[in-house]
Structure 1
Amino acid sequence: MAITHSNQLVWFRRNLRVANNPALEAAADSQHAKPLGVFCYDQQYTGTWLGMPRCAPLRAKFLWESVQDLQQQLQQMGGELIVQAEEPETLLPKLCQELNITHVHTQRLFAHEEVAAAERVLQALNAIGVTFVQHECYTLLAEAEVYERHTSPLGSFSKFRRKVAPDTQAITLRLNPLSVSQTSAVAQENAVARENAEPQENGVWHQLLAHQKQTPRTRENTAAENIIENAVAQENGARHHSLKQSPIAINADTDSRSVLPFKGGETAGQRRLQDYAASAVGHYKETRNGLIGADYSSKLSPWLNLGCISPAQVLQAVREYEAEHGANASTEWLIVELLWRDFFQFLAAEHGADLFQGSAKALGKVPENTDNDPTFLAWCAGETSNEFVNANMRELAKTGFMSNRGRQNVASALIHDMGIDWRWGALWFEANLLDYDPASNYGNWQYIGGLAANPRGGSWFNLKKQAQMYDTEGAYQKLWQAQY
């Protein structure tokens, strides 16, 4: 398929949408050339850390659906999305040279690995004379605005909110964010080694995710998963290939008890935003600690964290509800949740590699290999002595989702009651959560463990009391008692 494109290329990261996407807007030229984008399945998806894969089938399925939705939307615009399982610092320079690209536009992200990846791309593109431009669109507030008002290190969310957004009604829509052209250099000595060793066949991964119906990894089906669609785009004789199937296993079925039939992509994300903002947002604060049902909370985080929808679009939807029904504590609190999300992004930028390091208090044990730790395995499988923890862990493994209340409780249990290294729990969340992003995930785990931004020195929850408060009749625990 021949594509007449400009000399601008979009590297899509966690901005998998066409609306309110400044990188895509910047890449368009006056001749309305067809948009050309690239998405890389790099090591943050295909790799492992601490011997465990980083992306489980349910999360991989949601990601693939999101990438495919973006590809379809770009094709409807006459453009194309090239999807490859390759590191961006290798693929992007190659495409730029083949297609005479002069500018690569992308999204600014904040966690250590993401900053390091952007730095590697910057160096590779600079070496061949290509301009690299990063655009802010992942947070609600602009970075310059935040650091102008909050000049000291981020010690607590309450202080952050008082300084940067004391009045949520004063937050204005940022639908055309400013861009930054380069990242700060990443110090090599701060790099975090995320080993790429293959997980053991009889290890935690294979034991605990058998329900997701993974087929044996033979040479034949591995090849089938990597079928390439030839000539997705063709320009000046150069042929560009796009993956036809996910490079990560996605043959997983979501349990029928899931709070929502989650489907990845901008199309589904916009539908969920419209549905929730039409009415349920008006009671968010009263119901946000719920455990069963679609509308006790917004459930927008899976689409937000892949950028299928933007925080500015969520704010706009809330403002539209307020214009018709009036502002209330619930509409304000949903915006506060967006600020919590911002807080962890800027905290990640501040902490760098330390986001993945540190011990929570004086742990009783820090296993070198989770396969040999029955306590951790029981936690992952939802087979502990506490049924409230079990229900939440089973919901996560079978649906890719867990409520905010549940996340706090199971993290507290692993860290403070079981004495397990918090990073094992954070990695299990990384692999399984549909709404995973490194800043929010690892930042929240550090918060519970008392390693970062928690003035109380950690958060320990009384599991019995929590179950009595939030699952008074035991309906949630009963719902997830069965392992089917």
Structure 2
Amino acid sequence: MSKKILVWFRNDLRLHDNEMLVDALAKSDSILPVYILDPRLFAKTKYDTLKTGNIRAKFILESVLALRDSLKKIGGNLFIAEGYPEDIIPKLVSEYEITEVYHHREVANEETFISTLLENALWKLRINLKHFIGHTLYNKEDLPFPIKDIPDAFNQFKRKIERDSIIKPCFLAPDRINVADVIDWGLLPSLADLNLIPQEKDQRSDFEFIGGESEGLIHLQKVIIAMQQAATTKNLILASKLSAWLAMGCLSPRKVYWEIKKMESIPNTKAMFNNILLGLLWRDYFRFMFKKHGNGFFSPNGFGSQGLVDEANEQENFNKWKSGQTGFAVVDAVITELNQTGYITNIARQTAALYLINNLEVSWVWGAAYFEEKLIDYNPASNWGNWANIAGVGNDQKTKNVFDFDKNIKNLDPKGNYALTWAS
């Protein structure tokens, strides 16, 4: 009997540097690539926010469609379905005589719970669910310590892995694949099918995120060109805006690293290289912290005790904040930009969070849930990990009170232009 492997794509929507795909092709006669739009991804949360808002949903749909197109170009296709993976995949296993299922392991509780449900369903069919780890710059097995011994302090984590670990080369993208004989590969739903309204482009934004691997690779090359130009003018300020493609796995962090590293020897680019590398290391850190500590990051008290919460006015204050109507110009500008574009800089995220927590005395988890809905580059570990740190309830309690709201305002909007541009 021929061996068929079902490859379940989740937040890994690319062909390049995809060990799961490479391994499946090497060990099978044919594969069945599958992407499932899980309704839980678009459900409401207990904070009356959406798990996924319209801006990120559009990016996801674009990325899925781009993956299908890429697979078609090398002789394949992508099976697209709507529903629960733990229901759909076992049916596909039986229908297409699948011998094994591959997927990338996630770290947050909701995502890992779905994997567990699927694993249990496949166990009844005596089918193995094989886990791969492909979301980080450093592989777990290459770390100089087991997960339980990873330093809680970011600087210690960074220092030790940079000294004692290696970053592996990328896996090559396949140039040909054999897929199962499928009559109906499924249709990609529209935003309307997901009960979401498309976001009109805001003319104040000079950047547009378009989902998909090819768009991510194109933007990566634009970042490299921008680094070259910035090095010539010695303008060392560069926001790469690679995070959305990294979050959906349209770009591999190792691909970003090795491409950017080519610039390291060019004069005046080292600072920019280090800044992008720092962002990749923070992504790794929070993913590994989630593996080490579990779901403590989703609790209001986290690993400490959150500050004062004005319970009597919490809902009203939260509503003002999320609609950009607090009366504090810079904070309102940040939220307006977020609502209109799905993206704000890291310092803008910190500023909005600090104001919500300290000035409005709203529990930080409300803000984290709102960012989950709105951010185009949302991923659970980075979002909830950063919010917990800002609230002073992160796993590294030594970082409490390190965030300076007034300093952030000066750095974010020194001349008042930002607040003026994004006035709601």
Provide TM-score, normalisation by structure 2. 0.88
User: Compared with structure 1, are the counterparts of its residues 315 and 73 closer, same or farther at alpha carbon in structure 2 (3 Å cutoff)?
Assistant: same
2:188 to 237, 243, 251: 243
Partners of 1:240 and 1:29 in 2: how far apart? 23
Partner in structure 2 of residue 418 of structure 1: 360
The answer to whether 1:252 aligns with 2:249 is no
For 1:428, the equivalent position in structure 2 comes to: 370
Find the partner of 2:114 among 109, 114, 117.
Answer: 117
- Whether the 8 Å contact between 2:4 and 2:28 is mirrored in structure 1 is no
2:32 counterpart of 1:36: yes
1:354 to 278, 281, 296: 296
1:126 to 123, 126, 145: 123
Q: Which of 448, 451, 465 is the matching residue for 2:390? A: 448
Where does residue 272 of structure 1 map in the other structure?
219
The answer as to 2:329 corresponding to 1:387 is yes
SS at match of 2:64: helix
Q: Which runs of 5+ in 1 are unaligned?
A: 178-232, 289-295
The answer to whether the aligner puts 1:63 opposite 2:60 as a matched pair is yes
Q: 2:414: which partner in 1?
A: 472
1:431 CA displacement: 0.5
Structure 1 residue 480, shift from structure 2 partner: 0.4
- TM-aligned CA distance change 1:472 to 1:153, over 3 Å: same
Matches within 5 A, 1:194-233: none
Q: Name which of 16, 20, 43 aligns with 1:47.
A: 43
Question: Identical aligned pairs, as a percentage?
Answer: 31
Q: What RMSD over aligned residues (CA atoms) do the two structures have, in Å?
A: 2.8
| Aligned twin of 2:170 | 175
Report the counterpart of residue 155 of structure 1 in structure 2.
152
Query: Aligned partner of 2:372: which letter?
Result: E
Match status 1:402 vs 2:402: no
Report the residue type matching 1:161 in the other structure. Answer: K
Partner residue of 1:103 out of 93, 100, 105: 100
Question: How far apart are 1:9 and its partner, in Å?
Answer: 1.3
Amino acid at match of 2:188: L
Q: Which residue of 2 aligns with 1:83?
A: 80
Post-superposition shift, 1:117? 1.7
- CA drift of 1:385 comes to 2.2
Whether the 8 Å contact between 1:111 and 1:348 is mirrored in structure 2 is: yes
How far, CA to CA, are the matches of 1:18 and 1:54 in structure 2? 27
Check 1:266–1:467 CA distance in 2 against 1; reply closer, same or farther (3 A cut): same
Given that 1:276 and 1:298 are in contact with CA atoms closer than 8 Å, whether structure 2 keeps it comes out as yes
Q: 1:444 & 1:47 partners in 2: Cα distance?
A: 23
Looking at structure 2, the residues matched to 278 and 164 of structure 1 have their Cα atoms a distance apart, in angstroms, of: 29
Give the direction of change, closer, same or farther, for the CA distance of 1:80–1:336 in structure 2 (3 Å limit): same
Give 1:279 shift.
Answer: 3.5
Is the 8 Å Cα contact of residues 245 and 377 (structure 2) preserved in structure 1?
yes
CA contact (8 A) 1:107 1:135 kept: yes
Is 1:342 matched up with 2:292? no
Question: What amino acid maps onto 1:122 in structure 2?
Answer: E
Give distance in 2, aligned partners of 1:443 and 1:286: 31
The Cα shift of 1:148 comes to 2.2
The answer to whether the 8 Å contact 1:430/1:436 transfers is yes
Q: Secondary structure at the match of 1:138?
A: coil
Instruction: Look up the SS of the partner of 1:53 in the other structure.
Output: coil
The CA distance in 2 between the partners of 1:65 and 1:128, in whole Å, is: 33
Cα distance change of structure 1 residues 105 and 31 upon mapping to structure 2, 3 Å threshold: closer
Q: How does 1:355-374 map to 2 (within 5 A)?
A: 355-359=297-301, 360-366=305-311, 373-374=315-316
Aligned residues: 409
Q: CA offset at residue 375 of structure 1?
A: 0.9
Structure 2 unaligned residues grouped into runs of 5+: 173-178
Deviation per CA, 1:247-305: give whole Å up to 9, x if none: 422522231222411111111100000110234278699755xxxxxxx3100000001
Deviation of 1:467 after TM superposition, in Å, equals 2.3
Residue 115 of structure 1 aligns to a residue whose secondary structure is helix
